[in-house]
Amino acid sequence: MTRHFLSLMDCTPKELRMLVERAVTLKAILRRREPHEYLRGSSLALIFEKSSTRTRVSFEAGITQLGGNSMFLAPAELQLGRGEPLEDTARVISRMVNAIVIRTHEHAKLAAFAAHSQVPVINALTDRFHPCQLLADMQTYFEHRGDIAGRTVAWIGDGNNVCQSWINAARQFAFTLRIATPSGYGPDAEILSAAGDAARLVATPEEAATGADLVVTDTWASMGQESEKEVRARAFRGFCVDTHLMEIAAPDALFMHCLPAYRGVEVAADVIDGPRSVVWDEAENRLHAQKALLEFLLG
Ligand code: CP
Ligand code: NVA
């Protein structure tokens, strides 16, 4: 059966740990400039309905470093944009390439595409999840602080796609996630309750941050929510990750953000540009973690 990567729940905890370890190894191989064309001749199609810097560049560079090639397909330039059914597009493209990376709005669209694809489909972000981001985030935590199992992570901000992937990560990597969001902006109730004790909502950003080993946030207005920007800015007042919140976290607490970030909005400049921020490692690790994922799915 074809394996897809639509959410972190598509892998076992053991497989996810193996991916993180392999990402660390692939990073070292690249640093030593050793050839590692383990996927020579493989083709990767990227279909992106939303903007991207990190995800696109990391997949394109990653498959090239592994000896394969990529093609970036803007939906408007495909027959998809003229009404060819998604299912037909999946059937056709999957007969020609070795894996397909998709960034879209509705998660159901991604699932429908995967159901008709003969080759692995990778979620490059939907409105529901962003699992590739979490592979890189887990790698980053492991590199800086060791095993995340048993640690406490604070999510402060919007209960969005990235937050929902953090909930799945808490289940799969056995850490505790404390989530502080303004009321009405929490994560999906089903995703949260499926995580049991691993993730819970707390009343205030302070309650989430106190003693936390890691503080994480994301933009308050995700792609597709641009028109809500002002309303959200008002609703999220008090949720900016600032030095006060970092000071009440554990003394060696790290700060993460998937980027793009908006300084002075969801995070203070002196936090994201400060000594506890690991956002640039996080961004770089998208490359290594996704190379590990490509090897796992295609190797
Ligand atoms: N974090 C992330 O996925 O960034 P891009 O939107 O630039 O790909
Ligand atoms: N939550 C953000 C993440 C961007 C990488 C969005 O969906 O726009």
**Residue 179 lies inside a defined structural domain of this protein:** yes
Same domain, 80 and 179: no
Question: 264 is in which domain, residue-wise?
Answer: 133-280
Predicted pLDDT at 299: 87
Which residues face 177 on adjacent strands?
A: 153, 199
d(CA 296, ligand 1 centre) in Å: 22
Same domain, 138 and 264: yes
Predicted pLDDT at 203: 98
Same domain, 288 and 260: no
**Residue 3 lies inside a defined structural domain of this protein:** no
CA distances 241 to 18, 139, 169, 173, Å, are 32, 22, 21, 24
| Domain total of the chain | 2
CB atoms near residue 264 (< 10 Å): 11
Predicted pLDDT at 172: 98
Computed over its alpha carbons, how large is the radius of gyration of the chain? Answer: 19
Which one from 11, 132, 240, 258 is the annotated catalytic residue? 258
Instruction: Check pocket membership of 219 for ligand 2, CB cut-off 6 A.
Output: yes
Tell me the CB-side half-sphere exposure of residue 272, using CA atoms within 13 A.
23
Same domain, 146 and 271: yes
**Residue 2 lies inside a defined structural domain of this protein:** no
**Residue 229 lies inside a defined structural domain of this protein:** yes
Q: Look up the CATH number of the domain holding residue 236.
A: 3.40.50.1370
All residue ranges of the chain with pLDDT < 50 are none
**Residue 27 lies inside a defined structural domain of this protein:** yes
Same domain, 266 and 289: no
Tokens describing residue 261: 């970030």
d(CA 124, ligand 1 centre) in Å: 9
Question: Which residue's alpha carbon is at the smallest distance from atom 4 of ligand 1?
Answer: 54
Give the separation between CA 290 and CA 275, rounded to whole angstroms: 26
**Tens digit of each residue's pLDDT (9 = 90 or more) over 20-42:** 999 999 999 999 999 999 999 99
Give the separation between CA 296 and CA 3, rounded to whole angstroms: 10
Predicted pLDDT at 273: 98
pTM to 2 decimal places: 0.98
Nearest by Cα to 134 from 11, 297, 271, 295: 11
